[in-house]
Structure 1
Amino acid sequence: MSTWAAEAIRTIRAKHTPTPLRTVRVGGAEIVMKDESTLPTGSTKHRTVAAMFCHAIASRDITETTQVITATAGPVATAAAHFATLLHLPSTALVPAKAAEEVLARIENEGGRWQRAEQPPAALQQEARALAARWGGHFLDHFTAAEPAVTAWPPTIADELFAQLPEPPQWIVVGAGTAATATVIGRHIRGEGLPTRLALVDPENSAYFPAWATGARDYGTGMPSRIPGIGRPRVEPGFHPGVVDLAIPVPDAASAAALLWLHGQGIDAGPATGTSLWGIHHLITKMGEQGPMATLITDSGAPYRTTHLNRKWLTTKGLDPTPQEAELTW
C-alpha cells in the first residue's frame, strides 16, 4: 500500500467516534435508538461511505489524483463530497434532473460538485459509470459496493452497537436501502451466536419484503420508495435474506404517523426511523413482544420539515397519518 493510501485510510478512520444511544419507552418496552444523525454529514450513510472510501483506496481504485463520482443527490453524495474534500480529491455527484436546490446545497457545503443527469433516474447508475470511465475517475456505486465494504472494514455498526448495549436486545429493527446495514447486523448476530433477532421493515413499493417472503432474489416492483433512505424497486446485491428473521411491510402513512409520534417524544429523526418504529409497534401489539429492542436514527428530521413532517404535504401526497396515529396509543 502506498504512503498516501495508508495515510488516507488512517485519516478517515481517525475521524470516527461512536454515535450515542437514545432511549424511548414504548408501552412497556424500552427502545434503544442509535443516533446516526450525529455523524458529520448527518446520516448513517456517512459511516457506509467512509467504509467504501477505505475499501476503494486499499484496492487502488481511488488514488491521490482520482475524481470520485456518485449517482445520487442524497446523503451518499453529501458524505462522498465530505471524504473527498478531506483527502483533497475532486468529487462530482451526478444528480437527477429534478433534484432540489437545498439538496444540492448540502453537496456544495461539503466541497463537492454536482451535475444534472441527462438520462431519466432509472439510468442514473449507468450514466455515472460512463461518466467515470470518460473522466478516468472512480464510480462509488453504493448499491453494489456498500455491503462488501462495510463488512471488510470493522468496527461495523453492529460491533459498535452491541459494545454499547448492556445486554443483547430481543430485537433489532432496521430498514434497507442498499441493505448493507441490515446484512452486517444480521451477520454479526449469527456470527456471535446472539439471541437477538433481526426484523427488516419495508415501505410501500419496495422489493425487499416480497423478495424475503417468496425467496425471489430477482424480485422487482419498478416503483420508487416514498421513504427516503430505505426501500428499493429491486433487490440490491447487498441483501441477504437468510440473516433476516422477520420482514414487516409498513404502509407509508404509518411511517409518517410514527415519525410524528417520535417528534412528539422529543426524538429528532427522519422518515426511515418512523418506519422502524412502526415495525416495533407491530412486534409489540401484534406479536406480544416486550423485551428490549433497538433501532437506528438514520438521519435527523431537518431535511423533512416541509415534507414528511408537514401534515399538509402528507395529505396532498395521500399519506394522511391520522388513522394510524389513532393506533399509536401503545
Structure 2
Amino acid sequence: MGREHTGGAMPTMDVDRSDIEYRVWLKEAVRRVQADANRSADTHLLRFPLPERWGIDLYLKDESTHPTGSLKHRLARSLFLYALCNGWIRPGKPVIEASSGSTAVSEAYFAKLIGVPFVAVMPRTTSAEKCRLIEFHGGQCHFVDDPRVIYAESAALAERTGGHYMDQFTYAERATDWRGNNNIAESVYQQLRLERYPEPAWIVATAGTGGTSATIARYVHYMQYDTRICVADPENSCFFDGWTKGDPDATSDSGSRIEGIGRPRMEPSFLPGAIDRMMRVPDAASVAAVRALETVLGRKAGGSTGTGLWSAFKIVAEMVAEGRTGSVVTLLCDPGDRYLDKYYSDAWLAEQGLDIAPYTEAVRTLLATGVWPEAVTG
C-alpha cells in the first residue's frame, strides 16, 4: 500500500538550483545551434563543364557557402549538438579543439553562438587567414611546432582549464547523422534528382578526420545505391598506406601541406572498410587542379578541393577510356582566399619545391582530349 497524503503541502524533491540553471542554459544552447541549421539554405551543386559527347557529368558540392565558409560548418554543428546533449559542454567553460584551421573557424563560431570560450590548438604553419577568422569569431589560437602533439596538448589544455576537448578526430563519424537528416550525402542525391545521371558512379572525398567519407559511404550503403566512394589523400599522410596495407597503426612523420586533410596517424573517425578506393595525390597536382578550377569556373578554392578534383579528373579519364557514362561528384571544401599566400603564391610553391607545370598540362590534355597522360604520376 502506498502512503496516503492527508493534507498540507505536497512533498517535493530537492533540486539543486545550479542544475536548474544548467538545464535552462542547455535548452537555449541547443536551440541556438539548431536554429543555425534552420536558417542556413543548402549548399549549391556546381557543374564542371565537360564535352557533351563523353556522356559524363562532373559536379562539385560547394560547401564554401556555409556561414563559416567551409565543409567543416556541418561537422562543427554536429559536434556541438553531440557534446551538448552528452553534457560535456558547460556554461563558462572553454571548448578546446585540435585542428588545422577550418574546423576551428566553425567551432569558434558555434562557441560564440552559445557563449562559451574557444581555444584552437593548431600547427604553427596554419594559414594566417584561418587564424584571423578564428579570432574574428571570438576564439583563441594556441600554436604547436610539431603537428603530432596537437592531440596531447589539446587534452592537457582542457584538463588545466576544466574545459571540454571536442576531439573531432574521434567523434566526427559518430556525431553526424549518416542516415539522412539533410547530411551532405542526402543533399547531393536530392540535388541530382533531375540530372541525367541522378545516381553518381563515384563520389570523391578527402579525409582529415575521415568523418565526411564515413558519412557518405554509410549513407550510400544504407540507401542501397551502387555509387562507389573514393578517398583522395595528399602527400605526408598515412591514410593511403593504412588503407592499402590494412594497417590501423600506420603513421607519417611529416605534416600535410594541404591544410584540412591528411593526417600523421590513422584517425578513429576514418573508416577504411566503408570506402571502395583510395588515391594518393601529389601536392603539386592538388595545386594544379585547384588553379584549373579557377580558370574554368572562376572560383578560388582551398588545396583540399584540388586533391579531390584531381582524383575526380582521373576517374573521368578512366570512364572515357572504358566508354562508360555517368556522373562523378567531388567537394569544394572551402574558399581559396584563405590560402592566397600558399596555393596561389608562386613564391610559396618555389619555397616548397613544387612544380605544378606537368600537372597543369595533364589537366589541359584531359579536358581537351579525354586522355590521361601516361607520363604523369599520381
Aligned-partner Cα distance in 2 for 1:146–1:317: 31
Q: Are the aligned partners of 1:81 and 1:110 in contact in 2 as well (CA < 8 Å)?
A: yes
One-letter amino acid matched to 1:271: G
- Tell me: CA distance 1:96–1:245, structure 2 relative to 1, closer, same or farther (3 Å): closer
* Unaligned ranges ≥5, structure 2: 1-21, 367-378
Q: Are the aligned partners of 1:284 and 1:290 in contact in 2 as well (CA < 8 Å)?
A: no
Q: Are the aligned partners of 1:73 and 1:104 in contact in 2 as well (CA < 8 Å)?
A: no
Q: Are the aligned partners of 1:37 and 1:44 in contact in 2 as well (CA < 8 Å)?
A: yes
**1:94, distance to aligned residue in structure 2 (A):** 2.9
Aligned-partner Cα distance in 2 for 1:290–1:221: 37
Question: In the TM superposition, what are the counterparts of 1:319-330 in structure 2 within 5 Å?
Answer: 319-328=354-363, 329-330=365-366
- Of 246, 249, 253, the residue aligned with 2:280 is 249
Aligned-partner Cα distance in 2 for 1:76–1:70: 8
Per the alignment, residue 110 of structure 1 pairs with 137
Residue 282 (structure 1) aligned with residue 314 (structure 2): yes
Question: In the TM superposition, what are the counterparts of 1:272-311 in structure 2 within 5 Å?
Answer: 272-286=304-318, 288=321, 290-311=325-346
Aligned-partner Cα distance in 2 for 1:123–1:307: 23
- Of 123, 129, 133, the residue aligned with 2:159 is 133
Question: In the TM superposition, what are the counterparts of 1:124-163 in structure 2 within 5 Å?
Answer: 124-151=150-177, 154-163=181-190
- Of 198, 210, 214, the residue aligned with 2:229 is 198
Aligned-partner Cα distance in 2 for 1:148–1:89: 23
Match of 2:121, SS state, is strand
**1:213, distance to aligned residue in structure 2 (A):** 1.3
Match of 1:168, SS state, is coil
Q: TM-score, normalised by structure 2?
A: 0.82
Match of 1:76, SS state, is helix
**1:79, distance to aligned residue in structure 2 (A):** 1.2
- Of 61, 80, 92, the residue aligned with 1:34 is 61
Aligned-partner Cα distance in 2 for 1:141–1:26: 40
Match of 2:47, SS state, is strand
- Tell me: CA distance 1:100–1:327, structure 2 relative to 1, closer, same or farther (3 Å): closer
Aligned-partner Cα distance in 2 for 1:309–1:320: 13
* Unaligned ranges ≥5, structure 1: none
Aligned-partner Cα distance in 2 for 1:208–1:97: 22
Task: Answer with 25-34 or 151-160: which moved more.
Answer: 151-160
> 1:159-180, CA deviations, whole angstroms, 9 ceiling, x for partnerless residues?
2222222122111011101000
> 1:129-174, CA deviations, whole angstroms, 9 ceiling, x for partnerless residues?
1111121110111111211111379432112222222122111011
Match of 1:248, SS state, is strand
> 1:29-60, CA deviations, whole angstroms, 9 ceiling, x for partnerless residues?
32111111111111111110110000000000
Match of 2:176, SS state, is helix
Aligned-partner Cα distance in 2 for 1:143–1:197: 24
Per the alignment, residue 263 of structure 2 pairs with 232
**1:185, distance to aligned residue in structure 2 (A):** 0.2
Match of 1:205, SS state, is coil
Match of 2:330, SS state, is strand
Per the alignment, residue 29 of structure 2 pairs with 8
Aligned-partner Cα distance in 1 for 2:124–2:281: 29
* Paired residue total: 329
Match of 1:40, SS state, is coil
- Tell me: CA distance 1:115–1:281, structure 2 relative to 1, closer, same or farther (3 Å): closer
**1:101, distance to aligned residue in structure 2 (A):** 4.5
Identical amino acids, percent of aligned pairs: 38
Aligned-partner Cα distance in 1 for 2:128–2:231: 32
**1:274, distance to aligned residue in structure 2 (A):** 0.8
Aligned-partner Cα distance in 1 for 2:170–2:339: 27
**1:73, distance to aligned residue in structure 2 (A):** 5.3
> 1:296-329, CA deviations, whole angstroms, 9 ceiling, x for partnerless residues?
1000110111211223321331211101111112
One-letter amino acid matched to 2:311: G
Task: Answer with 308-317 or 95-104: which moved more.
Answer: 95-104
Match of 1:307, SS state, is coil
One-letter amino acid matched to 1:51: S
One-letter amino acid matched to 1:113: Q
Per the alignment, residue 10 of structure 2 pairs with none
Task: Answer with 284-293 or 196-205: which moved more.
Answer: 284-293
Aligned-partner Cα distance in 1 for 2:143–2:248: 32
Residue 175 (structure 1) aligned with residue 196 (structure 2): no
Match of 1:174, SS state, is strand
Aligned-partner Cα distance in 1 for 2:332–2:166: 24
Q: Are the aligned partners of 2:92 and 2:116 in contact in 1 as well (CA < 8 Å)?
A: yes
- Tell me: CA distance 1:19–1:92, structure 2 relative to 1, closer, same or farther (3 Å): same
Task: Answer with 74-83 or 306-315: which moved more.
Answer: 306-315
Aligned-partner Cα distance in 1 for 2:50–2:24: 50
Q: Are the aligned partners of 2:148 and 2:264 in contact in 1 as well (CA < 8 Å)?
A: no
**1:99, distance to aligned residue in structure 2 (A):** 5.0
Quote the RMSD (CA, aligned, Å). Answer: 2.0
Aligned-partner Cα distance in 1 for 2:127–2:44: 30
Match of 1:2, SS state, is helix
